[in-house]
Amino acid sequence: MKIAVLAGDGIGPEIIAQAIRVLDALKADGMSIELEHGLIGGCAVDATGEPYPEVTHQLVSNADAVLLGSVGGPQYDTLPRPQRPERGLLAIRKALNLFANLRPAILYPELANASSLKPEVVAGLDIMIVRELTGDIYFGEPRGIEQRDGQRVGFNTMIYSEAEISRIAHVAFQAAAKRNQKLCSVDKMNVLECTQLWRDVVIEVSKEYPQVTLSHMLVDNAAMQLVRDPKQFDVIVTGNMFGDILSDEASMLTGSIGMLPSASLDQNNKGLYEPIHGSAPDIAGKDIANPLATILSVAMMLRYTFDQEEAALRIETAVQKVLQQGLRTSDIAAPGEQAIGTQAMGDAVLSHL
């Protein structure tokens, strides 16, 4: 298993360090794991002038999977757009054709009180957001800011081809078929033609999955339903921008964005695995960040790219035991509850592994 590790910026290096300890433990138990490190985001800009340098592209192209920390920081916000760290993330997704972004939102029973919603609304929550990741308004052309009639106008293009919609729909239907056979497709077809096509194509693809019950929801209603009654959902499939927004919202149902892993897959299950949270520059270097989302991203990597379900479960079980034991980083600690640091959380996961 050749894994490219891109720790990135902010809390990235600290949380990745804990995930690497988990990989080292599996390696010590006989798994054949090879790690190679590279730069992405702000640290890559500092070293090479580019957020996704060619050497990094070579490294990740030759790897089976990529483990990524996080990118970005306030010191980069004034750089020209092509040099911003976020561009590195978008570039690697596009370059590796990672069109299928899986973002599970699972509420661990021990964390029911960390959610901002009432425990009875979120208890037992287990939903999967399937977000299209290489199309939509994120990549559509034309785009820009220009002068028109004496004033600046900004514009972007929301665009999806039927091939792009159908391949992400297949991923979502297959995910739903393995879960509770319920798929909700989210669009804005009452206003946007692009998403009318989205709905039409999803309906066409649904004919191949008679066992899955398909429903449709407009994105504004979906945002509301996610906080009103999130347990009505099993799998949600949506475009790049709506998925960006809804997945942050869903993460909060689970108590902390610090708990949620993600997988971004290509057609062959080569994947990039990263926590869905950002680089959190305000807490970087303080040994307080929650490494669990990154550690759980390793579990997803073992499951989806390497087909090692047993090892994936071993990690997930270790995380669960740590939570049962009452150990919390500050983002998931209840008021007054003692919090432990990043390293100590890594220690605890290793001890249960």
136 is a contact residue toward Mg ion (CB under 5 A):
no
Answer yes or no whether residue 23 interacts with ligand IPM by CB under 6 A: no
Name the residue whose CB lies closest to Mg ion. Answer: 244
Active-site residue (options: 29, 220, 229, 307): 220
CB of 230 to Mg ion, least distance (A): 18
CB of 94 to ligand IPM, least distance (A): 11
347 is catalytic: no
Residues 6+ apart with CB under 8 A from 197: 160, 162, 165
Residue whose pair of structure tokens reads 């702000």 in the numeric block: 42
- Applying CB under 6 A, the span of 21-29, 85-93, 205-213, 251-259 interacting with ligand IPM comes to 85-93
Is 206 exposed, middle or buried, given 0-12, 13-18 or 19+ CB atoms closer than 10 A?
Answer: middle
| Smallest separation (angstroms) from ligand IPM to the CB of 26 | 26
Q: Using CB under 5 A, which of the segments 39-47, 49-57, 243-251, 341-349 binds Mg ion?
A: 243-251
Asked if 89 touches ligand IPM (CB under 6 A), the answer is yes
Report whether 216 contacts 247 (CB < 8 A): no
Options 64, 126, 200, 248, the catalytic residue: 248
Contact 68, 274 (CB under 8 A): yes
DSSP string, 183-215: EEEEE-TTT-HHHHHHHHHHHHHHTT-TTSEEE
The active-site residue out of 160, 188, 234, 273 is 188
Tokens of 133: 């990741």
Query: Based on CB atoms, which residue is closest to ligand IPM, 18 or 262?
Result: 262
The string of DSSP codes covering 77-121 is TTS-GGGSHHHHHHHHHHHTT--EEEEEEE--GGGGGGSSS-HHH
In terms of CB distance, is 86 or 162 closer to ligand IPM?
Answer: 86
Query: Known catalytic residue: 9?
Result: no
Residue 86: which of Mg ion, ligand IPM, none does it interact with, CB under 5 to 8 A by kind?
A: ligand IPM
Return all residues near 317 (Cβ < 8 A) that are at least 6 apart: 352
- CB-CB contact of 260 with 293 (8 Å): yes
Closest-CB residue for ligand IPM? 86
Catalytic residue check, 207: no
**Which of 222, 315 has the CB closer to Mg ion?**
222
**Measuring CA to CA, which residue among 110, 112, 158, 111 is closest to residue 135?**
158
Q: Has 286 been annotated as catalytic?
A: no
**H/E element, 237:** strand 235-238
Q: Does 136 bind ligand IPM (CB under 6 A)?
A: no
Part of the chain binding Mg ion (CB under 5 A), chosen from 10-18, 123-131, 149-157, 241-249 = 241-249
Q: Looking at beta carbons only, is 205 or 246 nearer to ligand IPM? A: 246
Q: Establish whether 136 is a catalytic residue.
A: no
* Exposure class string for 253-282: b at 16+ Cβ within 10 A, else e: bbbbbbbbbbbbbbeeebbbbbbbbbbbbe
End-to-end CA distance of the chain: 20
* Min separation Cβ 94 and Mg ion, Å: 16
Pairwise CA distance, residues 179 & 181, whole Å: 6
Q: Which residues touch 77 (CB under 8 Å, ≥6 apart)?
A: 84
Closest by Cα among 140, 233, 153, 244 to 192: 140
Residue span 230-259 as binding mask against ligand IPM, x where in contact by CB under 6 A, dash where not? --------------x---------------
Cβ proximity to ligand IPM: between 251 and 305 the closer is: 251
Residue 244, interface with Mg ion (CB under 5 A)?
yes
Only one of the segments 53-61, 82-90, 172-180, 316-324 lies at the binding site for ligand IPM (rule: CB under 6 A); that segment is 82-90
Interface with ligand IPM, residue 132, by CB under 6 A = no
Instruction: Give me the residues that bind Mg ion (CB under 5 A), please.
Output: 244
Annotated catalytic sites, by residue?
A: 138, 188, 220, 244, 248
Binding site for ligand IPM (CB under 6 A): 86, 89-90, 244
